[in-house]
Structure 1
Amino acid sequence: MTVAESPLHDRTAVVTGAARGLGEAVARDLAGRGAKVALLGREERTLARVRDSLPGVSACWEVDVTDDRGMARAGAEIRAQLGRPSVVVANAGVAEGGPFDRSDPAVWRRVVEVNLIGAAATARTFLVDLFDTGGFFLQVASLASLGAAPMMSAYCASKAGVESFAHALRAEVAHRHVGVGIAYINWTDTDMVRDADEYAVLRELRGHMPAPARKVYPVTYVADRLVTAIERRRPSVYVPRWLRSVQIARAAMPPVVTMLSRRELPRLAAAEPFRATGMLGPGGRADRAAGTGSPPG
């Protein structure tokens, strides 16, 4: 398919969390297929670097996805500069790890706010545009949406939440000819995942997963699969494809995870005491350093 033949050609696409990692890769793939891309994120300088490296038309906005007023302002400026969005990718996400009882309540809460409340605020901002364009909303979820893991309680709770939110939203807007897709992704080669591997407990927990489940996938490969799913308006996309089979077995996962954790966590704790990681990756630390935006309103 040539750029001109892509259904994304000359369409406006919004990507949150676009300063780095998967968001940057998705934005780059969208631009490569001819879309006009609006980049949203917390790191203005990094966003500008991504914007300047993209082909075609793009623009960036430094905004906190949990700030309703800030998102509304960004939405209005996107419509004025790039036109009404036909595609919205709710990708912004942060993570922290470690024992729940030793977690910083503010950090734990912020993970849920960015990942879940931020996804809802993104949808609220741009649904009016998607109604007008008959567009597509892609929610980036995770293997953590399908099965929770110890030491990642905030991340798992938020990703289970975005899956449920996307299912509910899909049913609510289907008659308005708006598509809603869910991207279930496994370990992806981003700063956040590389940072997680610096912590022994998170590294060991991933190491105890079955071989296919602990493989790390190139970010460009994941982005290509997601953008292809957008072109085809798929209700779900699994990267890697075998993740689809986890849907069948997900009811059996909690007792299995509990059994393995009961055996392995004491051994890991004896080797190195568990501690809270704080925000993982440069993106998470940038969000923490920037603080929260204006109160929602």
Structure 2
Amino acid sequence: MSVASPLTGRTAVVTGAARGLGADMAQALVRRGARVALLGLEEGELARTAAELPEGAAHWWAVDVSDADAMEEKAARVRSRFGSPSVVIGNAGIAESGTFLDSDPRLWRRVVEVNLVGSAVTARAFLPDLLRTRGYYLQVSSLAALAPAPLMSAYCSSKSGAESFAQVLRTEVAHRGVGVGVAYLSWADTDMIRAGDTTTALRALRSALPWPASRAYPAPEVAERLVRGVERRSAAVHAQQWVRGVRLARPLLPPLVALRSRRMMRHLEKDGGVAATGPLGEGGEAAVDATAAVPTSDTRS
């Protein structure tokens, strides 16, 4: 006899839900009987994601997660349509690549705004709901939070900050019945990673990693593991089992990465392969497009 998921009948919020890992997590949540609020920037992709789910199981709202006022307004809309959420997944994230010295300061800041500030804004907007439901907040982090990766200073900084934020939040709300988890994952086969693989620098970075850290894992597989962690209200969710070992070896990683990076960086600089990439993937481009108009909601709201 199958056992009903603890997510059945619950409301979940997923940011960065327009594509990739966010869209796949939405599907995994709906399979478990949850109603899902999809938040993201790309109106067309959000609508497509919602249309692929059973009627009534999901609704979308276009919003910039770093905009505190807009997120408060969307939290009220989610509450009005579905009731207070029991699960919130801070998944929205973007990346760019290049040396810090040659990076565009505005783009560098935007990565931090989305990945770190956007995570805090998301938590602030929905924390009153999670307190009411004694719910669970999952912060999607990365191996980039555990080890420095050359050419990824904004991404590593923001993911480390998001991890630390979630851990502090846990200490402040655990006694009130709210769980907070951090998801650690390696490369997932998403639009952002595929865009990175077209660049010389990120191809070199990934190929320099030992197996299995160099492998890109199917996004639906990663999403399924993360949602299992949501069901268990885990403090740490590992998208790949070997990531547990990486966390244990964390103190050793910075000097090891620095040592291995010297040769790689010399070769890349000699071959001209460290040029800044700009935002990676269509989701990243949408997040940094200052002229993009963000709709206030799905027209069916």
Is this a same-fold pair by TM over 0.5?
A: yes
Deviates more, 1:58-67 or 1:284-293: 284-293
Unaligned runs of 5+ in 2: 295-301
Q: Contact 1:95/1:284 (CA < 8 Å) preserved in 2?
A: yes
Q: Which amino acid aligns with 1:19?
A: A
Counterpart in the other structure of 1:244:
244
Q: Residue 139 of structure 2 corresponds to which residue in structure 1?
A: 139
Aligned to 2:9: 10
The change in CA–CA distance for 1:144 and 1:251 in structure 2 (over 3 A counts) is: same
Q: Distance in 2 between matches of 1:87 and 1:292?
A: 29
Match of 1:268 in 2: 268
Equivalent residues in 2 for 1:205-244 (5 A)? Answer: 205-244=205-244
Identity, in percent, stands at 54
Please give the alpha-carbon distance, in whole angstroms, between the structure 2 residues aligned to 1:47 and 1:76: 19
* 1:121-140 to 2 correspondences below 5 Å: 121-140=121-140
**Number of positions where the alignment pairs a residue of Structure 1 with one of Structure 2:** 293
Q: Point out where structure 1 has 5 or more consecutive residues left out of the alignment.
A: none
- Structure-1 separation of matches of 2:20 and 2:241: 21
The answer to whether the 8 Å contact 1:64/1:292 transfers is no
Matches of 2:114 and 2:27 in 1, distance apart?
Answer: 23
Q: Is the 8 A contact 2:286 2:292 kept in 1?
A: no
Between the aligned partners of 1:90 and 1:19, the Cα distance in structure 2 is 13
Q: CA deviation at 1:252?
A: 1.1
Moved over 6 A (4+): none
Partner of 2:299: none
Report the equivalent of 1:77: 77
| 2:4 partner letter | E
- Cα distance in 2 for partners of 1:253, 1:221 equals 26
Q: Distance between the aligned counterparts of 2:153 and 2:80, measured in 1?
A: 40
> Secondary structure at 2:64's aligned position in 1?
coil
Q: Partner residue of 1:194? A: 194
Aligned partner letter, 2:49: V
> Alpha-carbon deviation of 1:237?
1.0
- Give the 3-state SS of the residue equivalent to 2:198 in structure 1: coil
1:29 corresponds to: 28
Secondary structure in structure 2 of the residue aligned to 1:61: strand
Q: What corresponds to 1:52 in structure 2?
A: 51
Q: Matched residues in 1 for 2:114 and 2:240: separation?
A: 25
Report the residue type matching 1:153 in the other structure. S
Q: Supply the distance in 2 between the matched residues of 1:228 and 1:255 (Cα, whole angstroms).
A: 33
How far apart, in 2, do the equivalents of 1:134 and 1:211 lie? 40
What residue in structure 2 maps to residue 110 of structure 1? 110
CA contact (8 A) 1:66 1:293 kept: no
Secondary structure of the structure 2 residue equivalent to 1:181:
strand
Q: CA separation in 2, counterparts of 1:40 and 1:291? A: 19
* 1:182 aligned counterpart, secondary structure: strand
Q: Answer yes or no: is the 8 Å Cα contact 2:200–2:273 preserved in 1.
A: no
SS at 2:275 equivalent: coil
CA distance in 1, matches of 2:109, 2:129: 30
For the Cα contact (< 8 Å) 2:17–2:46, is it kept in 1?
yes
Paired with 1:181 and 1:193, the residues of 2 have a C-alpha distance of 24
SS of 1:211 mapped into structure 2:
coil
Q: Do 1:30 and 1:227's aligned partners in 2 also have CA atoms closer than 8 Å?
A: yes
User: Structure 1 CA distance, aligned partners of 2:293 and 2:108?
Assistant: 17
Q: Secondary structure at the match of 1:213?
A: coil
2:144, 2:225 → 1: CA distance? 19
Give distance in 2, aligned partners of 1:291 and 1:139: 28
Rounded Cα–Cα distance in structure 1 between residues aligned with 2:273 and 2:178: 48
- After TM superposition, give the deviation of residue 292 of structure 1 in Å: 8.5
Query: Given that residues 88 and 136 in structure 1 are in contact (C-alpha distance below 8 angstroms), is that contact kept between their aligned partners in structure 2?
Result: yes
Distance 2:12 2:124 in 1: 15
CA shift at 1:77, angstroms?
0.6
